[in-house]
Amino acid sequence: MSEDSVWEAPEGSWASSAARRRNMQAIRSRDTKPEKLVRRLVHAQGLRYRVAARPLPDLRRTADLVFRPTKVAVFIDGCYWHGCPEHYVPPRTNSGYWSEKVLRNVERDRDTDQKLREAGWLVLRFWEHEPSDACAQKIADTVTSRRDELIRP
């Protein structure tokens, strides 16, 4: 395809245009600004964690922060991709595809939560719009509390 030609999405394609496709591909799935800020604040409190790791090796899903010894998995969900009840706005273009995608993401999130809980993990979920310092404090308090429970039987 030459540079001068106009790209058209094939029938049934997920992207409505070449520009939309580039835009959607540029969206980060990890190391977002909210994630990095929360990580920095949690690290400053002396806690160490794994980034974008699988809490369970046989589950093909990653948490944003994983505290293996205390079995705490943290997810910082984007408002659009995870259907925030406060900020999600259905798309105007190709709405059937994108609305279904977000619905599948929400269902997968609930399934992930259930599987982790069944394996003894505590799941913490935050929205990207929540104050980072409050999220970091909740994470630190939870991990510290679970660590203390493990130390004293």
Per-domain residue ranges of the chain = 29-151
C-beta separation of 70 from 63 below 8 A: no
Whether 17 has a pLDDT exceeding 70, the answer reads no
Rounded to a whole number of angstroms, the distance between the first and last alpha carbons of the chain is 67
In this prediction, residue 4 carries a pLDDT of: 42
Which pTM was predicted? 0.81
C-beta separation of 84 from 64 below 8 A: no
Residues found in the chain? 153
Q: What's CA 39's distance to the chain center, in Å?
A: 13
In this prediction, residue 27 carries a pLDDT of: 60
Residue with tokens 């058209």: 8
Q: What is the mean pLDDT of residues 48-77?
A: 97
Query: What is the SS3 assignment for 83-134?
Result: CCCCCCCCCCCCHHHHHHHHHHHHHHHHHHHHHHHHCCCEEEEEECCCCHHH
CATH of domain 29-151: 3.40.960.10
